[in-house]
Structure 1
Amino acid sequence: MGIVENIERQIQELSANELAEFRLWFAEFDAQLWDRQLESDVRSGKLDTLANDALRAHAAGQTTKL
Structure 2
Amino acid sequence: MRTLEEIKKAVEELPPEEFAELKNWITELYWKRWDREIEKDSQEGVLDFLIEEALREKKDGSLRDIF
Could you say which TM-score interval applies, normalised by the shorter chain?
0.7 to 0.9
Instruction: State yes or no: 1:53 paired with 2:64.
Output: no
Q: Normalising to structure 2: TM-score of the pair?
A: 0.84
For structure 2, list consecutive stretches of 5 or more residues without a partner in the other structure.
none
Write out the 4+ residue segments of structure 1 that deviate beyond 6 Å after TM superposition.
Answer: none
Instruction: State yes or no: 1:40 paired with 2:2.
Output: no
Deviation string 1:12-54 (CA, Å, 9 cap, x unpaired) is 0111101110111111111000000100000000000122112
| Separation in structure 1 between the aligned mates of residue 10 and residue 54 of structure 2, nearest angstrom | 45
How far is 1:57 from its partner? 1.4
| Separation in structure 2 between the aligned mates of residue 29 and residue 59 of structure 1, nearest angstrom | 39
For structure 1, list consecutive stretches of 5 or more residues without a partner in the other structure.
none
What is the root-mean-square deviation of aligned Cα atoms in Å? 1.4
How far is 1:58 from its partner? 2.6
Identity over aligned pairs, percent: 34
